[in-house]
Amino acid sequence: MLWLAVYFPGLPLRVFHDPGRQPFALSERIDGRERITRCNRRAREQGLYPGMPLASALALCGGLRVRPRDRRAEQALLRDRAQQAYRFSSRIAFDPLCLLIEIGASLRLMGGLEPLLQTVLAALCEPGERARHAVAPTPGAASLLARCRPGTRVLRREAIREALADIPLARLSRDPRARRLMQDIGLRTLGECLALPREGLARRTGPELLRHIDQVLGLAPDPRPAWRPPTRFEQTLPLCDEIEHAPALLFPAQRLVERLARWLRARDGATDRLHWRLHHRARPPTSFDTGLLAPDREPERLLRGLRERCERLCLPAPVTALGLRVSDIQPADTPSGGLFPAPSRPDLHWLERLYNRLGETCIRGLRSRPDHRPEQAWQWCPPGRSEAQPPRPGAQPLWLLPRPRPLRERGLQLLQGPQRIEAGWWDGQDVARDYFVARTRDGTRLWIYLDRRSGHWHVHGYLD
Amino acid sequence: MCMATSTEAPPAYAELFCLSNYSFLQAASHPEELVGRAAQLGYQALALTDECSLSGVVRAHQAAREAGLRLLIGAHFRLPDTPTLVCLAQTPAGYRRLCRLISQARRRAPKGEYRLTREDLEDGLPGCLVLLHLAPDTPDADLAWFRRAFGDSAWIGVSLLRDGRDPALLARARQATRTHGLGCVAVGQVRMHARGRRVLLDTLSAIRLGVPLDRLGQQAAGNGEQHLRRREDLARIYPAEWLARSVELARRCRFSLDSLRYAYPDDVTPPGMQRHAYLRQLVEQGVRRRWPGGCDERVRAQIEHELRLIAELGYEAYFLTIWDIVRHARARGILCQGRGSAANSAVCYCLGITEVDPARANLLFERFISRERNEPPDIDVDFEHQRREEVIQYIYEKYGRERAALTATVITYRARSALRDCARALGLDATRIEALGQALSSWRRHGGIDAEALREAGFDPDSPLMQRLCYLANALRGFPRHLSQHVGGFVISRERLDVLVPVENAAMPGRTVIQWEKDDLEALGLLKVDILSLGMLSALRRCLDLVGRQRGQALRLQDIPAEDPAVYAMLQRADTMGVFQIESRAQMAMLPRLRPRHFYELVIEIAIVRPGPIQGDMVHPYLRRKQGREPVDYPSPEVRAVLERTLGVPIFQEQVIKLAMVAAGFSPGEADQLRRAMAAWKRRGGLSPYRERLLRGMHERGYSRDFAERIYRQILGFGDYGFPESHAASFALLAYASAWLKCHHPAAFCAALLNSQPMGFYQPAQLLDDARRHGVDVCPVDVRHSDWDCTLEGEAPRLRLGLRMVAGLGREAAERLLRARRQAPFRDLDDLAARSGLERRALQALAAADALSGLAGHRHLAAWAVAGIEHGADLMRAPRFAERQPQLFPPSEAEQVLADYAHTGLSLRQHPLALLREALRARGFLSAAEVGGRADGEGVRAAGLVLVRQRPGQGKAVFITLEDETGQLNLLVWSRLAERQRRILLGARLLGVNARLQRAEGVQHLIVHRLEDHSELLGPLQIRSRDFC
């Protein structure tokens, strides 16, 4: 076995789009304090360094842009690269910011070590990116060498020990107890550590450290879970007869959906997004998505979206084949108990149907916001997401005008009020109004107010 | 739609439900502002009714007196399942009941909270009026209970705030009157004095609830009606009957804080004796003790004068109480000494409260007590800081928690906390708030946030957000946040305290605090005593103990021989590191010029290095006259009598007062007013009324205009920052004692200082260096020999560092180790671990501090050995097999020094810079000793570790002290350079400078013209510097 480790120290910064003209740094909370963990070249020129407290960094460099480190984005980026590497090897593993690729099996195919390295590194790195790599018989050794002695090639197991002799111990282990001990007894490198009596060391640091060292040296197995690229379901069903009316699509669709359901069940997964593709003879395919509110794998529910869609779908041309692709697999959380599929949440079915029938952009929910100003007291939201708010004092109109209009009516009778509202200075939209309920001559009840700054009267809503 | 504009006079009104910002974070105006506005609006009266608190009433009372407004005292409470109740004190008895109620409620709950139930109100609060604050949904049952509980004193308070609930409230109120026969009165539930404060009120709500402003919603007030409204507006809102009732109820409340009286406890006088007679007896005893050969005429006259005044003003019990406290402390071997104006009193000297001998000094008793001042005396006593707690416990035990309590300090918003909280309320995130903190330092100096500093920090000062922030933060500064205990101010009373002022729990368990501060007590004429702590007293006592043990014979403070020429020689050399009051950089720069030769000159030395004399330009004239470069003259014999002892230059506060009396004809009372004005003139405007009086008075007595102007200028410069002579004398006694001990017993002195840390101006590392330079041998921490404290060993004696110097070793663990060692010396490390039962962390701390070298070898071997010690059950197993010892090299010298600093704060091996000397020399830097050999005026390049940064006074220059292995260097950086190279100035640990050497009169400074930061040479070494700027 031969492992290639490729280490991307600049990945955390690369996740953000940084043209590099301004000082930019990432911060993390370490031991209760915000500290800089990475910074770009401009920032380094100003005197910033990793580990510096954020407050000092801001003092030193006034125009510094800081973002918190985004580890999830880093993981995603690393997985992307792993996807690239999958072309060259099927055994891929991860270390922090580092990709481990087993290349022993591919050496012959790629024509030797050097050509392989050239190809792989070219595929993995973005232009202008510096990545450090190393090759060794164990993944642990390769990873360490990539971080500390980039460019090293160790081909035989017996040579590992020598190659790692002056690797700093701080890089070997994150275990605080072990690190502290090494520091206290004045040892710095792995080589020095290997010279210690084994039993004495094991007793003092616990078995973890020695096991880790053995793995790195190749004296103990180091099984790394192999990474697999995410799967997807993609099938196309050619049709014997061309279909000209949309509802007829449901029959072939049913077969595809059943296959999908079987496939999902085998992977214990569920999905909430189906991508349909209608192939035509002489024009590009028509595609659209149907969705569910919650991930599911029952054929009936998966098909419902298409059923709703087909009722209003107009086919631009006869369909010759039907394709279904599902790439977003989520774990199924329904326990498969009895023979019959468990009923899903009943209350949102009708919403799903509305969505599918009318389209997602046509449906909105309403919710109240905590604010004294009537025009700010409500907002649109995804349906089903509002919570009850305590009742507001004073008269509340049923209808609120989108914008208050000047009062033109005459002969009004004041029924209630004044209710004085003064709020909103914090976002620059301060209001100072006295609200009244007034009845017009024809009996309509208006919600009007006097703007205390301008002295003008306005109508803001209707009570009936 | 028209507003009624009435031409008749608006109705009379009294506000009965009003909160000040002493209801912490619930109201947006100071008590003075509320009073001022109410007076302006023509209210008949204002009641201050904070939540379960009377913290703000004294301020309100003073403001009300000045404004001519009648103030009612009260508080409001929130009970479970009951609407809010507002209680107003009608009579003195009612006030007492109210205080007891508040104390009861607060004492039951943790600090800052209170608990009250209906049972507590069973007696109906006789002497108080009670208002129930009505809500639209107040149940009938509550109203029925209310009626039953309070009978004729029960009223319904209705606040109509135009928030949409008014119609419901009105209906409910009318119904309540019909059903229960309860009368209604209009109240405002006022939280601010002017409508515009609603901005601040909303911000306070946001801070209190921990929610940004844009999410407050209904939790904020819907409008700004909760302010002191104009009576015309009130007439339009409330029924006239309810407004009239507010005045009627206010008329029933006749209680005023002016009638508050309390008496000092009488416990100390033996039964059957009169207070005055007992005091006289103790004083006479003191006279015999202090002057065995009898006291002279002048002193006797002073004693009689003081005793007469004390009797006249009725302060005997006060003096006796303090005498008792001091006596008790001395009996337990605790060093103590009175300070401040009390040192002017011969009676205090006789009672042993102070140590300044009236026979040897000119004391001004009027500074302490006078008829005209109409103020109670204020005695502050310093105790050993490590044993002050014992004194406090004694007071609590003797007088009980019923009669003794600490005074409060109201913690207010400072610039930084105000900015932080307002920024958070406005929704800024943590990163930006940090950045704002950077802009702050300029704010502190200039009084408003500097636009430039904001821009530098990445903010736009013109944006609405920033403008709002600046406005809010400025308004919030000075607002009370919470009550805390004062450092040591005690109120002790003859009867229960909690009928005089409410008492609540402090943060420390078993401590109670009254709700008033020092200033409040002064305003009401209540006596208090300050039990303060002084680090130097601890150090002195420890040193005396150590020396006594060495000699085999006890050494007391009074045994120290006076006027030792060797001591004064040492002072003139400025060899005063560790010496009380004269160890600072500024003092060390003055000593070689002033060259004190006897005690009084030491008193002057202490008083002269202060902003007052420096700004008043007294220093240079005095030095010139002392050095004989200027003739000493006096325009008249009267002036000579006042200024002779300071060579014609006024240096002490009392001299200025005496001059006003003697040369300008001020009476003692007027002179005291002048003193007070001197203290406050910078805040309140000029001293011009006094100027006229002074100039005229002096002119009448034949003094030249020149002289008069000069005196006036000196008074201006003096301000508040001059020492009273008695105070300087008290301190000089301690300074001399510590100097004598340093001079003759340097090892004991250093050990005592180390054992009394934290205190003083210098870090342990510097104190030890200084001791070693004086020939003291210092031995490192060693588990085989060290005690917890630093001790003396052997004949020489040598100084053995104690286990307290080991970072991370607790006292408890160390005691276990010492107990085990007392039984038998340690055979090896395993033996130590087994018998002392120390856990791993303690052992690691000892290994890291190199304290195990005698048992386990150098640091690396010790760490290896400690890591291999088994703990817990394995301890009892049979001895293990011998394991192979690894080969571990000892740390390098540099690593040893680094580790020493990291784990003990100092190193006995080498100074870190000794290890870097090569590198520094390569960059052209001289050592401190080498600089000392250069001539005045030369250009030099030097470098050192930054010990101290100071920016005294107006900040025209920054003073820095550097240190290397050969000594220290004093730098002077002018402010322009300081601004230009600000980052290096503030951030460098190892500072290099290009400078010009200036040496005159034995004092050396480097005037810097360029700074360089070489901290990277130090690596991870951390030296804590003391920064005063």
Q: Render pLDDT for B154-200 as a digit per residue (tens, 0 to 9).
A: 999 999 999 888 999 999 999 999 999 999 999 999 999 999 999 99
At B454-491, the pLDDT tens digits run: 776 667 778 888 888 888 988 998 899 988 888 788 88
Inform me whether the C-beta atom of residue B196 falls under 8 Å from chain A C-beta atoms.
Answer: no
The helix or strand, by DSSP H or E, that contains position B1022, with its residue range, turns out to be none
Among B19-33, B231-245, B585-599, B699-713, name the one with the lowest average pLDDT.
Answer: B699-713
> Please, are residues B46 and B18 in contact by the beta-carbon 8 Å criterion?
yes
Range A304-330 average pLDDT? 86
For residue A146, the model assigns a pLDDT of: 93
Per-residue burial over B434-464, b if 16 or more Cβ lie within 10 Å, else e, is bbbbbbbbbbeeeeebbbebbbbbbbebeee
Q: Which residues in chain B (878-897) have CB-CB distances under 8 A to chain A?
A: 883-891, 895
Scanning every residue of chain A, which has its alpha carbon at the shortest distance from the alpha carbon of B236?
A418
Give, in order, the Cα–Cα distances in Å from B621 to each of B228, B517, B594, B710, B906: 57, 41, 12, 12, 42
The model's pLDDT over B363-414, given as tens digits with 9 standing for 90+, comes to 666 667 766 666 778 888 999 988 998 999 899 899 988 889 999 999 999 8
Supply the pLDDT for residue B781: 95
Q: How many CB pairs under 8 A join A and B?
A: 132
Q: Provide the 3-class DSSP secondary structure of residue B279.
A: helix
pLDDT at A341 over 60: no
Is the Cβ–Cβ distance between B82 and B111 less than 8 Å? no
CB contact under 8 A, A195 and B860: no
Predicted local distance difference test score (pLDDT) of residue B742? 95
Number of CB atoms found within 10 A of residue B570's CB = 20
Domain A3-16+70-217: give its CATH superfamily: Reverse transcriptase/Diguanylate cyclase domain (3.30.70.270)
Most confident of A277-281, A388-392, B814-818: B814-818
- Please judge whether A184 and B867 are an interchain contact, meaning their C-beta atoms are less than 8 angstroms apart: yes
Query: What proportions of chain A, in percent to the nearest 5, are helix, strand and coil?
Result: 35, 30, 35
Q: Are B943 and B920 in contact (CB under 8 A)?
A: yes
pLDDT band at B817 (very low <50, low <70, confident <90, very high): very high
pLDDT at A336: 47
Q: Which residues of chain A have a CB within 8 Å of the CB of B438?
A: 55, 58-59
Residue A419 and residue B162: Cβ atoms within 8 Å?
Answer: yes
Domain boundaries, chain A: 3-16+70-217, 233-331, 364-464
Tens digits of per-residue pLDDT, A167-198? 888 888 777 888 888 888 888 888 888 888 88
Chain A within 8 Å of B372 (Cβ-Cβ)? no
User: Quick one: which of B172, B116, B181, B184 has its CA closest to B148?
Assistant: B181
Among B357, B382, B343, residue whose Cα is nearest residue B530: B382
Residue contact A428–B199, C-beta within 8 A: no
CB-based contact, B429 to chain A, within 8 Å:
no
Q: Which of B219, B220, B863 is facing A185, going by the closest CB pair?
A: B863
Minimum distance, in Å, between the CA of residue A418 and any CA atom of chain B: 6
pLDDT band at B2 (very low <50, low <70, confident <90, very high): very low
Report the pLDDT averaged over residues B30-41.
Answer: 95
Q: Which residues of A touch B220 (CB under 8 A)?
A: 372, 423
pLDDT in tens, B517-562: 988 888 887 878 889 888 899 999 999 999 999 888 888 888 889 8
Q: Which residues pair with B949 in a beta bridge?
A: B960, B1027
Which one-letter amino acid corresponds to residue A190?
Answer: L
Task: Please report residues of A whose CB lies closer than 8 A to that of B468.
Answer: 425-426
Q: Contact B901/B1023 with Cβ under 8 angstroms?
A: yes
Residues 814-853 of B with CB under 8 A from A: 844, 847-848
pLDDT average, residue stretch B859-887 = 73
Residue of B nearest to A435 (CA): B164
Q: Among A39-43, A80-84, B682-686, whose mean pLDDT is lowest? A: B682-686
Quick one: pLDDT at residue A73? 84
Q: Which of residues 236-295 of B touch A (CB under 8 A)?
A: none
Inter-chain residue contact A420 with B163, CB threshold 8 Å: yes
Report the gap between the CA of A39 and the closest CA in chain B (Å). Answer: 16
Neighbours of B410 (CB within 10 A): 21
Task: Report the pLDDT averaged over residues A305-318.
Answer: 85
Q: Answer whether the bond into residue B10 is a cis peptide, omega within 30°.
A: no
Residue B864 in contact with partner chain A when CB distance is under 8 A: yes
* CB of B808 less than 8 A from some CB of A: no
The partner residues of A92 in beta bridges, in order of sequence, read A101
Which of B 436-465 lie inside 8 A of A, CB atoms? Answer: 437-438, 455-458, 464
CB of B201 less than 8 A from some CB of A:
no
The Cα–Cα gap between B204 and B621 comes to 53
pLDDT of residue B179: 92
**Residue contact A392–B164, C-beta within 8 A:** yes
pLDDT tier, B362 (very low <50, low <70, confident <90, very high otherwise) = low
∠ CA(B670), CA(B264), CA(B309), 5° rounding?
Answer: 35
A-contacting residues of B 129-168, CB under 8 Å? 161-167
Using a CB-CB cut-off of 8 Å, the residues of chain B touching A196 are 886
**For residue B3, what pLDDT is reported?**
41
Higher pLDDT, A236 or B77: B77
- Distance between A205 CA and the closest CA of chain B, angstroms: 8
pLDDT of residue B892: 87
Q: How many CA atoms lie within 13 A of B493 on its CB side?
A: 22
* Pick among 3.30.1490.100, 3.30.750.24, 3.40.50.300, 1.10.3720.10: CATH of A233-331: 3.30.1490.100
Q: What digits encode the pLDDT tens for the residues A123-161? A: 888 777 778 999 999 999 999 999 999 988 998 988 888
Provide, as residue numbers in chain B, all residues whose Cβ is less than 8 Å from the Cβ of A55: 434, 437-438
What does the angle CA B616 – CA B618 – CA B624 come to, to the nearest 5 degrees? Answer: 150
Mean pLDDT of chain B: 87
> pLDDT, tens digit, for every residue of B104-143?
999 999 988 999 999 999 898 999 999 999 998 899 999 9
Q: How far apart are alpha carbons A73 and A11 in whole angstroms?
A: 10
Phi, psi of A449 (to 5 degrees): -145, 155
- As a whole number of Å, the CA-based R_g of chain A is 33
Residue spans of alpha helices (H) in A104-221? 107-110, 113-124, 139-148, 160-163, 169-172, 176-184, 190-194, 198-205, 207-217
CB B723 within 8 A of CB B344: no
Determine the residue among B170, B218, B983 to mutate to test chain A binding: the one whose Cβ has the most chain A Cβ atoms within 10 Å.
B218
Q: What is the pLDDT confidence band of residue B721, given thresholds at 50, 70 and 90?
A: low
pLDDT surpassing 80 at residue B874:
no
| CB pair distance less than 8 Å for B884 and A428 | no
Min CA distance, B744 vs chain A (Å)?
Answer: 41
Q: Assess whether pLDDT exceeds 60 at residue B24.
A: yes
The answer to ipTM > 0.90 is no
- Nearest Cα residue in chain B from A437: B164
